[in-house]
Amino acid sequence: MPRPKKPQSPFRYFNSSPEVIRLVVMMYVRFPLSLRNVEDLLAERGIDICHETVRHWWNRFGPLFAADVRRQRASRMRGFRQWRWHLDEMYVKLNGEMHYLWRAVDQEGEVLESYVTKTRDKAAALTFMKKALKRHGSPETITTDGLRSYKAAMSELGNADKQEVGRWANNRVENSHLPFRRRERAMLRFRQMKSLQKFASLHANVHNHFNLERHLVDRQTYKTRRSAALAEWQNLMG
């Protein structure tokens, strides 16, 4: 019986070590840094790479890392029954035109799904919700704002009884926009829907991985969780 082939490493054609590539992607996506900021910070550590290399690496390896993180987290969360989702859409300008970034967040602040559209009508809301439900399963309740597109989409999906609407009930997802807004400013905004969709999904998964709720735990617990998150990151695609 032939032995199963070992999957080829995604780093096999690169001279730099996987550890350096993971570090570069983490720094650029996790923190509000420009490509040249990352280049300068790495130069202080003795790592000489061009800012265009930073761009190439996050485009090439970022989605692979994000998919690995998402698979691990989705499998753990599917069995959680008291799951509450918060849905909201935020405005993003692309070349002067207004677009909408739909985002689903759970009760712990984990970003579940990100989806970019040109409109925020029923069709856009329905596509976004179908994508989130297919990937993550069904929650106990879904909290939204007063946008009628949500109600129309949920009625068509047959889960209108799960919708909750309140003036302050959706603060969880409103606050979750802030890290992405800071990152957007550092990147001097986006120019294409494709690049916005790609980076929004990548940023969400990296943010989830390092979201340690440091304001809710003591410092020793936070340090332990931070070390565990960094160790897991260094083992991605290993």
C-alpha distances out from residue 195 to 58, 108, 185, 188, 202, Å: 12, 27, 15, 13, 11
Q: Which residues pair with 164 in a beta bridge?
A: 143
Res. 19 pLDDT band, cuts 50 70 90? very high
CA distance linking residue 123 with residue 131, whole number of Å:
12
163 shares a domain with 84: yes
Q: Are 86 and 113 in contact (CB under 8 A)?
A: no
At residue 71, does pLDDT exceed 90? no
Q: Which of 1-10, 16-25, 66-75, 83-92 has the lowest mean pLDDT?
A: 1-10
Angle among Cα 154, 82, 73 to the nearest 5 degrees reads: 90
Res. 129 pLDDT band, cuts 50 70 90? very high
Contacts 24+ apart (CB under 8 A), 7-10: 9/237, 10/61, 10/64, 10/237
Q: Which residues pair with 141 in a beta bridge?
A: 84
Predicted TM-score (pTM) of the model is 0.85
Q: Which of 36-40, 69-73, 183-187 has the lowest mean pLDDT?
A: 69-73
For residue 202, tell me if it sits in a domain.
Answer: no
**Dihedral sign for Cα atoms in the order 199, 201, 204, 208:** negative
Residues 6+ apart with CB under 8 A from 21: 11, 14, 57, 61
Domain count, the chain: 2
pLDDT digits (tens, 9 = 90+) for 178-204: 999 998 888 888 889 999 999 999 999
Res. 206 pLDDT band, cuts 50 70 90? very high
CATH number, domain containing residue 187? 3.30.420.10
For residue 13, tell me if it sits in a domain.
Answer: no
For residue 2, tell me if it sits in a domain.
Answer: no
Angle among Cα 102, 104, 107 to the nearest 5 degrees reads: 150
117 shares a domain with 182: yes
pLDDT digits (tens, 9 = 90+) for 82-104: 678 999 999 999 988 899 999 99
Q: Which of 76-80, 110-114, 230-234 has the lowest mean pLDDT?
A: 76-80
218 shares a domain with 180: no
CA distance linking residue 136 with residue 131, whole number of Å:
9
117 shares a domain with 56: no
89 shares a domain with 135: yes
Specify the pLDDT at position 77: 63
216 burial (CB, 10 Å; 0-12 / 13-18 / 19+) is exposed
71 shares a domain with 38: yes
Between these two residues, 108 and 66, which has the higher pLDDT value?
A: 66
E strands present in 177-218: none
Specify the pLDDT at position 2: 59
Res. 3 pLDDT band, cuts 50 70 90? low
For residue 58, tell me if it sits in a domain.
Answer: yes
> At how many degrees (to 10) do helices 51-77 and 35-44 cross?
100
Res. 6 pLDDT band, cuts 50 70 90? low
C-alpha distances out from residue 83 to 11, 72, 105, 177, 220, Å: 37, 17, 10, 20, 28
Residues 6+ apart with CB under 8 A from 182: 32
91 shares a domain with 72: no
Q: By residue range, what is the domain housing residue 168? A: 80-191
Res. 5 pLDDT band, cuts 50 70 90? low
**Average pLDDT of the chain to the nearest whole number:** 88
Specify the pLDDT at position 238: 67
For residue 61, tell me if it sits in a domain.
Answer: yes
Q: Are 24 and 54 in contact (CB under 8 A)?
A: yes
Q: Are 104 and 87 in contact (CB under 8 A)?
A: yes
